[in-house]
Structure 1
Amino acid sequence: MKYVIGVDLGTSAVKILLVNQYGEVVHEVSKSYPLIIEKSGYSEQNPEEWVEKTTVGLKELVEHFDGDVRDIEGISFSGQMHGLVLLDKENQVLRNAILWNDTRTTKQCEEIYETFGKERLLEITKNPALEGFTLPKILWVKENEPLVFERASVFMLPKDYLRYRITGAIHMEYSDAAGTLMLNVAEREWSSEMLEAFGLAPEFCPPLVESHTFVGTATPEFAWSTGLSKEIKVFAGGADNACGAIGSGILSEGKTLCSIGTSGVVLSYEERNDLDFEGKVHYFNHGEQNTYYTMGVTLAAGYSLSWFKDTFAKEEAFDQLLEGIDEVSPGSNGLLFTPYIVGERTPHADSNIRGSFIGIDAAHERKHFARAVLEGITFSLNESIEIFRNSGKTIDTIISIGGGAKNETWLQMQADIFNAKIEKMTSEQGPGMGAAMLAAYGCGWFESLRECADVFLQPAKTYEPIPENVEAYQKFFTMYQQIYTQTKNLNIQLRMFRK
């Protein structure tokens, strides 16, 4: 039996899967690492933590492996998008990585529009200038840490830095490069026009490769420290959302994914590179060659639930926290929650907006608040689905993965709010499985990723929308959509009191 490894470098932990030729997860390991939050809106990590925890996790995986390590043929990666890692000429890290959920770069986003123009930016990059993207972070360092920037030789994204530490080779693949605001998405090349506009040299950007490209083998040092074979084939990998799509079988037109992790994503497969969503949703290169996907993002999806638990039920498990929500009818007895606790991205690209509970009543119990949080997260994701539908896309089946696929009541809620059939997969390992599939395809096990998906992925359960719940939620969703505009100015005023 042959095996591959999928490494999912997430925001809070690295998750490592050992997968056999039938797509079965033989073993998995997770190692967490901390966020560094110096002040409101800042979010950083030490890249060395990624390397250290991945090394420890791979060593543990190998120690539990009952076989010849040479049968572990390949390894590939999924990674948190947009994060900025700066290296000097000796390829040493110059500062902590600035992560995707860091919102300090509002000023730099405005400068991008002033310098380049919104329409031209959308033509080239297919995406608006948002605080989470990589180019605004680069410009922030250039302006606020000029001595650091002067020493910067190349920038990387998180999983690409991890892969560099494994192989010693520097590359970036298209699905992650698409989230930098420096890639010409349709032409699949670094945009010289963007680089020149902001004074960045072409060599500042890594060489581009496909997600399934073989980029090298493990260095002797890394193989020794983990127990892996020196011959293990290393493949480029993909952005977490692209890998989540691959690992959920979103590999043909009309397929849609709902992924609820720290952030929440609604993602739909696209074959064309010339669609125009006017920047309302993201438009990225897929991990499958010469294809694309559109994507809406809720910044604090699962994070809203984690925040609620840590604030009001820190010692309890999530199952305890959610006890009783199935007894609460749709609408949480007139209680609404907006998950804007770190700002929002789709459809409101706004770093100032903050969350709300609306309609708190003396009759409300904790179960009402818990259900309202789940409903608010799902309403936010539904705004992206509505954008897709309004553009003419048919969305009748959605594959749900991540935290939102771990609770039966939440899965039914998604079916009711999205008014679509929800499929839960046998494996809920989305991004990690997608990374493993890229390694399997790269190793030549299959002729295509779609062929790999047919073997590796199977639906476990389906949830159909309940008509009376759909009707109730449509009314409630209309009310939810009013909260952003009615609280926007209040949140601007409240900003001065945040520390």
Structure 2
Amino acid sequence: MSYVIGVDLGTSAVKVLLVDKNGTVAAEATRSYPMFHEQTGWSEQRADDWVDGTIAALRELTEAEGMDAAVIEGISFSGQMHGLVLLNGEGNPIRNAILWNDTRTTEQCREIERTLGEKLLSITRNPALEGFTLPKILWVRENEPEVFAQAELFLLPKDYVRYRLTGELHMDYSDAAGTLLLDVAGKAWSGEVLDAFELQASFCPSLVESHSLVGMLLPQYAERTGLSAATKVFAGGADNACGAIGSGILSEGLTLCSIGTSGVILAYENDKSKDYAGKVHFFNHGQENSFYAMGVTLAAGYSLSWFKKTFAANESFDELLAGVGEVRPGAGGLLFTPYLVGERTPYADAAIRASFIGVDGAHERVHFVRAIMEGITFSLNESVDLLRSSGKQIHTIVSIGGGAQSPEWLQMQADIFNTTVVALENEQGPGLGAAMLAAYGCGWFDSLSECAEVFVKHAESYAPQADAVQTYKGLFRVYQQVYTQTRELNQDLMPYRL
């Protein structure tokens, strides 16, 4: 049996999957690494910690009993997006990597908007947000000029790991799309953006497709990982793009709903001219000549975790959710907006905060739990609604993450989204997507879609229930009013926050 490896470089840990030609995960290994928060809003990691963790996890796979590294044909990568790795002329990092969840760059975002104006959306297809890479580059240049003077080139997290393993410098389109330096439709670094901020073209790595073969393992890393030096290394993609691939979101009409700490609605696009006016993100897909539109809820699963930690710390999630299915849609007139840490889509508001609306003396804890689940799903439905309002057809939503672990929540999604919702048999997310890119690159399949037919297996399917759909349509209209009604109140409360 032949195998490929998918490496998922996350924010807290790297996870590696060993996958056979049937799409079965034969083994997996994980290694964590620290994060550093030296000041409020700062979030950094050491790039070489990613390399060390990846090597250790790969070594665990290859040292498994009966494992012959010669049958591992290829390896590819999924990575946390936007993180800035600056390299000097010797190819070494000159400072810690600044991560996607770092928020120090608000002023640089305003600078980008002032400099580019309407060109920002027409070229990069995305607004200037603190998480993106260009604001981080500008922050380092403005605040650490002596450090920036050493910088010869930038990479994103997974690209640095792959560079260390192969000695080759590349970036794929799906990850480059999150830098604010890429002409997304033209699939090239934007000379106009680079010139506007006095950055050289040589500052950017060569661009490749996600399934492209970019090299082989250097001898020293083949030895350290236990892999063969003949193992083919493929570029890989951004974590959201690989998550879409690993969930089979590879054709028109298919949409992904991912509920983790944050929540994502991601819809496949094949029209590069599609214009959402920056209301949702628009990125290159990991599938060649494809794109995806994406909306984000900042505190999705986090809202439920917060409630559990605060009011049910000694209970399991199963205990917390007990009885939720017995509460009718609408939670007895109780509404929750999940703005615990601000909101991204469609408001991009860092100051807004969460609300419970309609609290009644008859409400019990289970009503609050159901209201939180509904509120998270309403927030995600804001993205679904935006996509549909722009003419997008959504006929099936694949649900992954914490929201796919509860039958009640899956049915709730079907009712609120008013479309069929399906779960996956063996959900492996971005790591599986990375393995699929390696499998396709190795020639196991003629396309990623053919690979998905084998690797991605649907489980239960949930159809919308007519009565619940009508109830939720009315509640969603109320939900959409809460932001505008509470925005000014939250601004007034800011001086009093903890």
TM range, normalised to the smaller chain? over 0.9
Q: Which residue of 2 aligns with 1:421?
A: 420
**Which letter does structure 2 place at the counterpart of 1:5?**
I
Contact 2:62 2:68 in 1 (8 A): no
What SS does the corresponding residue of 1:308 show, helix, strand or coil? Answer: helix
Q: Which residue of 1 aligns with 2:340?
A: 341
What SS does the corresponding residue of 1:333 show, helix, strand or coil? Answer: helix
Q: Distance in 1 between matches of 2:55 and 2:254?
A: 35
Q: Distance in 2 between matches of 1:483 and 1:36?
A: 35
Contact 1:414 1:422 in 2 (8 A): yes
Q: Distance in 1 between matches of 2:33 and 2:341?
A: 20
What SS does the corresponding residue of 2:331 show, helix, strand or coil? Answer: coil
Are residue 254 (structure 1) and residue 247 (structure 2) matched? no
Q: Which residue of 2 aligns with 1:83?
A: 83
Instruction: Identify if the C-alpha distance between structure 1 residues 368 and 62 changes in structure 2 by more than 3 Å, giving closer, same or farther.
Output: farther
Q: Which residue of 1 aligns with 2:126?
A: 127
Structure 1 window deviating more from structure 2 (221-230 vs 354-363): it is 354-363
Unaligned runs of at least 5 residues, structure 1? none
Q: Which residue of 2 aligns with 1:93?
A: 93
Q: Which residue of 2 aligns with 1:24?
A: 24
Q: Deviations for 1:42-80, whole angstroms, at most 9, x for unmatched residues?
A: 333332332232222222222335331110111111111
Instruction: Identify if the C-alpha distance between structure 1 residues 281 and 71 changes in structure 2 by more than 3 Å, giving closer, same or farther.
Output: same
Instruction: Identify if the C-alpha distance between structure 1 residues 24 and 133 changes in structure 2 by more than 3 Å, giving closer, same or farther.
Output: same
Q: Distance in 2 between matches of 1:29 and 1:312?
A: 34
Shift of 1:381: 0.8
Q: Distance in 1 between matches of 2:36 and 2:308?
A: 20
Are residue 204 (structure 1) and residue 199 (structure 2) matched? no
What SS does the corresponding residue of 2:63 show, helix, strand or coil? Answer: helix
Off by >6 Å, runs of 4+ in structure 1: none
Contact 2:8 2:16 in 1 (8 A): yes
Q: Distance in 2 between matches of 1:315 and 1:207?
A: 51
Matches within 5 A, 1:163-242: 163-242=162-241
Q: Which residue of 2 aligns with 1:384?
A: 383
Q: Distance in 1 between matches of 2:208 and 2:175?
A: 11
Shift of 1:256: 1.2
Q: Deviations for 1:368-406, whole angstroms, at most 9, x for unmatched residues?
A: 333222222211110010011111122121111122212
Q: Distance in 2 between matches of 1:13 and 1:315?
A: 26
Q: Distance in 2 between matches of 1:46 and 1:314?
A: 33
**Which letter does structure 2 place at the counterpart of 1:25?**
V
What SS does the corresponding residue of 1:37 show, helix, strand or coil? Answer: coil
Unaligned runs of at least 5 residues, structure 2? none
**Which letter does structure 1 place at the counterpart of 2:386?**
I
Shift of 1:408: 1.3
Matches within 5 A, 1:402-481: 402-481=401-480
Instruction: Identify if the C-alpha distance between structure 1 residues 318 and 152 changes in structure 2 by more than 3 Å, giving closer, same or farther.
Output: farther
Structure 1 window deviating more from structure 2 (366-375 vs 447-456): it is 366-375
Q: Distance in 2 between matches of 1:306 and 1:14?
A: 23
**Which letter does structure 2 place at the counterpart of 1:389?**
R
Q: Which residue of 2 aligns with 1:47?
A: 47
Shift of 1:365: 3.6
Instruction: Identify if the C-alpha distance between structure 1 residues 93 and 357 changes in structure 2 by more than 3 Å, giving closer, same or farther.
Output: farther
**Which letter does structure 2 place at the counterpart of 1:450?**
S
What SS does the corresponding residue of 1:102 show, helix, strand or coil? Answer: coil
What SS does the corresponding residue of 2:294 show, helix, strand or coil? Answer: strand
Contact 2:256 2:397 in 1 (8 A): yes
Instruction: Identify if the C-alpha distance between structure 1 residues 497 and 451 changes in structure 2 by more than 3 Å, giving closer, same or farther.
Output: same
**Which letter does structure 2 place at the counterpart of 1:253?**
E
Q: Distance in 1 between matches of 2:177 and 2:186?
A: 11
Shift of 1:181: 0.6
Structure 1 window deviating more from structure 2 (234-243 vs 54-63): it is 54-63
Q: Distance in 1 between matches of 2:332 and 2:50?
A: 43
Structure 1 window deviating more from structure 2 (162-171 vs 383-392): it is 162-171
Contact 1:211 1:238 in 2 (8 A): yes
What SS does the corresponding residue of 2:461 show, helix, strand or coil? Answer: strand
Instruction: Identify if the C-alpha distance between structure 1 residues 5 and 99 changes in structure 2 by more than 3 Å, giving closer, same or farther.
Output: same
Contact 1:396 1:419 in 2 (8 A): no
TM superposition score normalised by structure 1: 0.95
Q: Which residue of 2 aligns with 1:70?
A: 70
TM superposition score normalised by structure 2: 0.95
Instruction: Identify if the C-alpha distance between structure 1 residues 420 and 47 changes in structure 2 by more than 3 Å, giving closer, same or farther.
Output: same
Q: Distance in 2 between matches of 1:262 and 1:426?
A: 21
Shift of 1:498: 4.7
**Which letter does structure 1 place at the counterpart of 2:43?**
S
Q: State, as a whole percentage, how many aligned pairs show the same letter.
A: 65
Contact 1:88 1:154 in 2 (8 A): yes
Instruction: Identify if the C-alpha distance between structure 1 residues 321 and 54 changes in structure 2 by more than 3 Å, giving closer, same or farther.
Output: farther
Query: How many residue pairs end up in the alignment?
Result: 498
Shift of 1:316: 4.1
Q: Which residue of 1 aligns with 2:280?
A: 281
Q: Deviations for 1:258-291, whole angstroms, at most 9, x for unmatched residues?
A: 1222322111111111111111111111111111
Q: Distance in 2 between matches of 1:309 and 1:241?
A: 27
Q: Distance in 2 between matches of 1:199 and 1:177?
A: 19
**Which letter does structure 2 place at the counterpart of 1:319?**
D
What SS does the corresponding residue of 1:41 show, helix, strand or coil? Answer: coil
Shift of 1:12: 2.7
Q: Which residue of 1 aligns with 2:485?
A: 486
Shift of 1:39: 4.5
Structure 1 window deviating more from structure 2 (484-493 vs 411-420): it is 484-493
Q: Deviations for 1:131-160, whole angstroms, at most 9, x for unmatched residues?
A: 221111211222222222222222111111
Contact 1:106 1:351 in 2 (8 A): no
Q: Distance in 1 between matches of 2:495 and 2:39?
A: 14
